[in-house]
């Protein structure tokens, strides 16, 4: 079933309002096993008419958002009537709802609102309990040609979301029929690049009949998306895991910080952080997860040398001999933070975020990590040369992955 | 000049990645006095070819994002070559950059990356200093027909944004001609809502001839965008500042953490953080700013009651009598963090992020702040009921604004 989204609204193209409809509707359709083929955003005005015509010729279903308001630039209803070649008619129930809406709020209804009670002959009114704009559903063949089902939906999310669930989903299910529905699985990997997948996996995945494969790379993270019937997904998954199991962090969409918190909870262990160059980002990511308080109690942001000595007992001799960015200091940071907090595990990070502070031996991007646990301390020295924010994000990702790997091997 | 955006990527239509390109590019073009006519999002694959053809026939400029990666679903380059009917050729400089990118990171370059050095005959390579995918600029008339300028740009924002500024903006200015370009000033406000502007300012701004006004509201922050000739912008600015000066944090695009670090440096003062519910986010935001190390040395993430007592000396009696989320505890956190670190100022935050942990007296969203400085300690109790991540962001925003206001009044 070919489904398109058509968003209307000049503000969306000026960037003054973020267009979140595509993301939200896309996710909701995936849950139904359906997919969006294309999303188009046009300004208010004539472009709505043109794009309605194009999308309805190309698709089986068009989901239109916006342009149902009371003002002069809201012309989606009229545009659809013209495209389908049908008349408009006042809907009594919609008019009654409008009156009730204003009575409930002790506000007078102005004449401009009257056009919101207009329906297309042969179409359904979709009630709106959260605003003045009812939706409209024009079933296929309403206008003869094109033979496409068209939904007109309000723009504000608090009106769109409930109407989508109550009115759109049941109609989409009926239109789609059960046998068309594919599944989707997202495998999340950390510590490996998109090109590694291409080199070692792409060709073999392409040989699996009926499997669609997609990638999405973020900083320090790759999502592999497998789409198809369950048995085909399982086959793709098995092949992938056989090559990259050590990098696989989740198969349910959970991000790295969730996985770390989940593993700590599972094993009944606690973690502390001793951060220099990441400046609290690792602690902040852990505490984004509800339930973090049961596994994370103390975090140290020891940004200066003095703080490293005072808070977590790094010796001034070690600092003087090796410099703050060294495996020796990372080791003492991890050791001191673990002791001071009484946590089971600790992760330390010390590095040079830049843009200043680099030297020939330790250029911008140099990072040392320490991870301490019941079995001792390990340290790592790596290069992550990037802009300051990306550096922090990438290094925090690496730190959390070191914790994940340690929890996996030390249990 | 008719400009369209074409976003490619199956993940955008599945809703697994939010499509923020339209918003960002829309805003950047508004600064140049230019407008987007349409935004289209298509999945990876054949749809890229079809939509490239359609958009390039309809427009003067097409900005394409995504599909320049090394994997098999990255076909934007090849699709454009086919649409324009030109050959592809390996670009020596691009190949050199690719090799350098991997050498710098001590990683081997795999064969899949080679296609990222491919250019179209007659097109420009747009260097990418933040990733492996260079952009491509196909000037109008490259392929005979269509006579449209086409930019192929990488999808990841950290690669797209700098390339847009360095490579796309100068070419757009040249294509548009100088006379189309107005000036723009962005005034950034914290602690006031978009509706306050509508209520108290909109009508008066609308009376200024030749001034275009736009708003962009983020969590705890509103940007007011003034577009027009310099004299008209100055008039709009004066009117705005006369009403909202206490909320104005910058007129040069600087965000709140930059402003705080800048003010601390200016006054030669230091700041420490004592965070409970924000879990290190305030420290992380401060250390996003280059130069933070001269004003920020220690940060405490005292997530548990024990950590509050052990690290920054909150008394167990105060915790027992008033609970961790209380102005009394916030006051002791601020006092203890300031003493322990020896900083001039300290900010403490303790609250209930939710979704669990709320009570009748202290529902989810309750936050207490303490701010200590040479003139003593002040505390605040507020409500910020939001989802967990939004709560942390909003509360960290409020904490930084308290520091900004204290620095302003205490000097």
| Mutate which: A46, A284, A337, A358, vs B, most B CBs within 10 A | A284
Question: How far off is chain B from A61, nearest CA to CA, in Å?
Answer: 15
**Is residue B306 classed exposed, middle or buried when 0-12, 13-18 and 19+ CB atoms within 10 A define those classes?**
middle
**Cβ separation A298–B299 shorter than 8 A:** no
Question: Can you tell me whether residue B331 is helix, strand or coil?
Answer: helix
**Is residue B321 classed exposed, middle or buried when 0-12, 13-18 and 19+ CB atoms within 10 A define those classes?**
exposed
Question: How far off is chain B from A351, nearest CA to CA, in Å?
Answer: 13
Q: Give the closest of A35, A386, A392 to B288, CB-based.
A: A392
- For residue B392, the chain A residues in CB contact (below 8 A) are 284, 287-288
**Is the pLDDT score of B27 beyond 90?**
no
**Is the pLDDT score of A144 beyond 70?**
no
State residue A119's pLDDT score: 94
Residues in chain A: 411
Average predicted confidence (pLDDT) for chain A: 91
**Is the pLDDT score of B180 beyond 60?**
no
Write the CA distances from B17 to A26, B12, B13, B44, B156, integer angstroms: 10, 5, 8, 14, 11
Closest alpha carbon within chain B to A42: B38
Does residue A146 have a cis peptide bond before it, meaning omega lies within 30 degrees of 0? yes
* Residue range A282-321, pLDDT digits in tens: 999 999 999 999 999 999 999 999 999 999 999 999 999 9
* Residue range B270-314, pLDDT digits in tens: 999 999 999 999 999 999 999 999 999 999 999 999 999 999 999
Question: Can you tell me whether residue B215 is helix, strand or coil?
Answer: strand
Residue B351 φ then ψ, to 5°: -165, -175
Chain pair A-B, CB pairs under 8 angstroms:
283
State residue B355's pLDDT score: 87
Can you list the domains of chain B with their CATH numbers? 3-178 (3.40.980.10), 182-250 (3.30.70.2860), 256-409 (3.90.950.20)
Write the CA distances from A278 to A196, A389, B403, integer angstroms: 27, 9, 21
Q: What DSSP assignment string belongs to A183-233?
A: EEEEEEE-S--HHHHHHHTHHHHHTSTT-EEEEEEETTEEEEEEEE-HHHH
Torsion sign (Cα): A385, A288, B218, B347: negative
Closest alpha carbon within chain B to A19: B23
Percent of chain A beyond pLDDT 90?
Answer: 63
Average pLDDT over residues B229-245: 93
Distance CA B411, CA B391 (A): 30
**Cβ separation A18–B20 shorter than 8 A:** yes
Categorize the per-residue pLDDT at A254 as very low, low, confident or very high, splitting at 50, 70 and 90: very high
Categorize the per-residue pLDDT at A28 as very low, low, confident or very high, splitting at 50, 70 and 90: confident
Weakest-pLDDT range from A220-229, B106-115, B175-184, B343-352: B175-184
Question: How far off is chain B from A146, nearest CA to CA, in Å?
Answer: 20
State residue A235's pLDDT score: 96
Distance CA A54, CA A52 (A): 6
Q: Which residues share a beta bridge with B88?
A: B120
State residue B214's pLDDT score: 75
Closest alpha carbon within chain A to B29: A14
- For residue A197, the chain B residues in CB contact (below 8 A) are 71
Closest alpha carbon within chain B to A303: B297
Categorize the per-residue pLDDT at A246 as very low, low, confident or very high, splitting at 50, 70 and 90: very high
Count of H helices and E strands in chain B? Answer: 16, 17
The whole-model pTM stands at 0.76
More confident residue, B106 or B383: B383
Categorize the per-residue pLDDT at A145 as very low, low, confident or very high, splitting at 50, 70 and 90: low
DSSP 8-state class, residue B342: T
E strands, A276-411, in order: 296-302, 345-351, 366-373, 376-383
Q: Give the closest of B16, B301, B307 to A301, CB-based.
A: B301
Distance CA B66, CA B79 (A): 12
State residue A178's pLDDT score: 55
Residue A369 φ then ψ, to 5°: -115, 150
State residue B323's pLDDT score: 96
Q: What angle do CA A404, A409, A410 make, to 5 degrees?
A: 95
- For residue B72, the chain A residues in CB contact (below 8 A) are 198, 202, 206
Weakest-pLDDT range from B99-108, B155-164, B339-348, B390-399: B99-108
- For residue B225, the chain A residues in CB contact (below 8 A) are 16
Residue B52 φ then ψ, to 5°: -60, -45
**Cβ separation A299–B279 shorter than 8 A:** yes
**Is the pLDDT score of B179 beyond 60?**
no
- For residue B100, the chain A residues in CB contact (below 8 A) are none
| Mutate which: B28, B292, B298, vs A, most A CBs within 10 A | B298
Average predicted confidence (pLDDT) for chain B: 90
Element spanning A79, H or E: helix A76-84
**Is the pLDDT score of B109 beyond 80?**
yes
Q: Which residues share a beta bridge with B38?
A: B4
State residue B182's pLDDT score: 63
Q: How many CB atoms lie within 10 A of CB B310?
A: 16
Q: Give the closest of A16, A292, A307 to B298, CB-based.
A: A307
Closest alpha carbon within chain A to B225: A16
Question: β-strand B212-218 against B183-189: which pairing, if any?
Answer: unpaired
Closest alpha carbon within chain A to B42: A38
- For residue A186, the chain B residues in CB contact (below 8 A) are 16
Categorize the per-residue pLDDT at B131 as very low, low, confident or very high, splitting at 50, 70 and 90: confident
Average pLDDT over residues B128-154: 86
More confident residue, A73 or A258: A258
Average pLDDT over residues A333-341: 98
**Cβ separation B279–A287 shorter than 8 A:** yes
Residue B16 · residue B6 · CB < 8 Å: no
Q: Indicate left, alpha or beta for B225 from its phi (over 0: left) and psi (-120 to 50: alpha).
A: beta
* Residue range B307-337, pLDDT digits in tens: 999 999 999 999 999 999 999 999 999 999 9
Question: How far off is chain B from A234, nearest CA to CA, in Å?
Answer: 20
- For residue A355, the chain B residues in CB contact (below 8 A) are 290
* Residue range A153-205, pLDDT digits in tens: 998 888 899 999 999 999 998 888 754 556 778 899 999 988 888 889 988 99
A71 Cβ contact list (under 8 Å, min separation 6): A112
State residue B178's pLDDT score: 57
**Cβ separation B12–A18 shorter than 8 A:** no
């Amino acid at each position: 079933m070919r489904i398109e989204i058509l968003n209307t609204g000049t503000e969306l193209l000026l960037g003054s309002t973020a267009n979140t409809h595509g993301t939200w509707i896309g996710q909701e359709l995936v849950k139904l096993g359906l997919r969006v083929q294309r999303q188009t955003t046009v300004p208010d005005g004539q472009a709505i008419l043109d794009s309605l015509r194009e999308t309805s010729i190309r698709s089986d279903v068009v989901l239109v958002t916006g342009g149902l308001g009371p003002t002069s630039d809201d012309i989606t209803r009229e545009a659809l009537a013209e495209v389908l070649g049908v008349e408009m008619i006042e809907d009594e129930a919609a008019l009654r709802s409008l009156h009730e809406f204003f009575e409930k709020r002790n506000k007078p209804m102005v004449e401009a609102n009257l056009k919101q009670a207009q329906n297309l002959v042969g179409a359904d009114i979709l009630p709106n309990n959260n605003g003045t704009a009812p939706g409209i559903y024009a079933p296929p063949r309403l206008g003869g040609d094109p033979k496409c089902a068209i939904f007109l939906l309000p723009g504000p999310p608090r009106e769109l979301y409930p109407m989508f669930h109550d009115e759109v989903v049941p109609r989409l299910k009926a239109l789609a029929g059960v046998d068309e529905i594919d599944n989707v699985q997202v495998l999340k990997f950390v510590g490996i690049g998109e090109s590694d997948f291409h080199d070692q996996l792409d060709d073999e995945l392409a040989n699996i009949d009926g499997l669609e494969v997609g990638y999405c790379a973020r900083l320090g993270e790759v999502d592999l998306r497998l789409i198809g019937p369950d048995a085909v997904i399982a086959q793709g998954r098995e092949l992938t895991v056989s090559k990259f199991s050590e990098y696989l962090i989740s198969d349910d969409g959970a991000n790295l910080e969730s996985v770390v918190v989940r593993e700590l909870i599972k094993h009944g262990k606690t973690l502390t952080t001793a951060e220099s160059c990441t400046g609290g980002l690792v602690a902040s990511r852990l505490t984004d997860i509800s339930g973090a308080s049961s596994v994370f109690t103390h975090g140290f942001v020891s940004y200066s040398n003095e703080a490293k000595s005072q808070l977590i007992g790094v010796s001034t001799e070690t600092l003087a001999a090796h410099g703050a960015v060294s495996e020796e200091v990372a080791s003492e940071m991890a050791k001191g933070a673990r002791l001071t907090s009484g946590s089971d595990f600790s992760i330390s990070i010390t590095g040079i975020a830049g843009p200043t502070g680099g030297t020939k031996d330790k250029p911008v991007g140099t990072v040392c990590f320490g991870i301490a646990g019941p079995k001792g301390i390990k340290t790592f020295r790596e290069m992550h040369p990037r802009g300051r924010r990306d550096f922090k994000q990438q290094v925090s990702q690496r730190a959390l992955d070191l914790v994940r790997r340690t929890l996996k091997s030390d249990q």
